[in-house]
Amino acid sequence: MSALLDSVICGLPQSSTMSTVNNTTSGNESVVFRPSSGYDIPLYGLKNGVFYYIHGLAIGCLVTSLTCALLAIVFSLRQNNVRNFFSNWSKSERFIVYMATCDGLFNLTHLIDHVHITIVRDYVHPKALCAFYGFNLSFFIAAQQLLVNIIAINAFMLMFYNRHLNFGAGDWKLFLWTFGAPLVGATVAVAFEQYGPLGIFCFFDGVKGRLGELFFTTVPLLIILPVNCILYGLTFGKLHVRAKEIQQTLGPKSTTQRATYRAARSMSMFWWALALHGAWGQISRPVPNIFFYIVPIFTNLGGVFTLIVFIVIRRKPANSTGGCTIPS
């Protein structure tokens, strides 16, 4: 997801992201103007008439994604007792709630940002409000990256070693890593004034936020994406072998094997949407203008993918429920 936001940066016209030079002749003198912040970068889409198309597409996708994320949470809570969330819910089921929550809060923040810009036809003011939007976007994007990575590691451990990662009582270890690390990073970015207008919406400032964007999105993605690819490549290879074994195995042992297989496969579903986002953004830079329409579709539909994962997991055969409901 963050790779696509990064691709938006790379897809902006060079005249928007580079220093603007205005030569005004007064005798033999020339004045060179360099933008001091993202507010000095022209808002993309106003001059070429695509402003409402871009933001309208983004708003439509965000509303759809937010609705799907809420449905995933509501259906999950209706089918399971919320009082036993940490005791009887499987990791797959809890991951759905965590991912849907991140998707929903990301969608809500980004939706308000786009609506604000669409109404005023200008960047968000005051600067603190734009920084607040950027803070939330970067926080939930980073949290999802780390959560998806943990899911990849857990699926790998489950498939190869038949064991879950220990997240501690109430998943406190998972929360500390998934949300604590992004919170620290985003707070540091605020301290160094890294957030601001990006040319289309509020994220890392298009002029002053390059270091924040580099260390908060680009570098983590370049590390997490290959690691996830390797882990899931190994996991799916093992899943393929294990599936054949399960079909040929009879007796009590097959139930345990089938449970492990289904649990790992269920957790694997979470990763592919974000991996598709990241890979697409990496292979398409610098992006042509058409990607200003494609990027919002893929970036802002995380809730749709989460709901699809929920539906796939819940459609498991009734006699194989153990595979997706291993308590942990």
In this predicted structure, what is the pLDDT of residue 283? 52
Eight-class DSSP state of 20: P
* pLDDT at 322 > cutoff 50: no
Mean pLDDT of the chain: 76
Report the distance separating Cα 140 and Cα 52, nearest Å: 26
Measure Cα distances from 323 to 53, 62, 91, 258, 259 in Å: 44, 32, 11, 6, 3
Report the distance separating Cα 314 and Cα 328, nearest Å: 18
CATH of 2-315, one of 3.40.718.10, 1.20.1070.10, 1.10.10.10, 3.30.830.10: 1.20.1070.10
Mean pLDDT for 140-160 is 86
**Sequence ranges of the domains in the chain:** 2-315
In this predicted structure, what is the pLDDT of residue 159? 80
Segment 217-227, tens digit of pLDDT: 778 877 887 88
Segment 151-172, tens digit of pLDDT: 888 888 888 888 878 899 999 9
pLDDT band for 325, please (50, 70, 90 cuts). Answer: very low
Report the distance separating Cα 304 and Cα 326, nearest Å: 25
In this predicted structure, what is the pLDDT of residue 260? 46
Whole-model pTM?
A: 0.76
Q: Which residue has the higher pLDDT, 150 or 327?
A: 150
In this predicted structure, what is the pLDDT of residue 316? 56
Segment 249-292, tens digit of pLDDT: 544 444 444 544 454 454 444 444 444 444 444 455 444 566 56
* pLDDT at 85 > cutoff 60: yes
Termini Cα distance of the chain: 29
Backbone angles phi, psi at 101, to 5 degrees: -65, -45
Q: Which residue has the higher pLDDT, 237 or 249?
A: 237
In this predicted structure, what is the pLDDT of residue 234? 86
In this predicted structure, what is the pLDDT of residue 134? 95
In the chain, % of residues over pLDDT 70:
68
* pLDDT at 237 > cutoff 60: yes
In this predicted structure, what is the pLDDT of residue 276? 47
In this predicted structure, what is the pLDDT of residue 20? 42
pLDDT band for 76, please (50, 70, 90 cuts). Answer: very high
Geometric angle at alpha carbon 176, from 158 and 322, rounded to 5°: 30
Segment 11-64, tens digit of pLDDT: 454 444 444 444 444 455 566 668 888 999 899 889 888 899 889 999 999 999
- Whether the ω angle into residue 42 lies within 30 degrees of 0, i.e. cis, is no
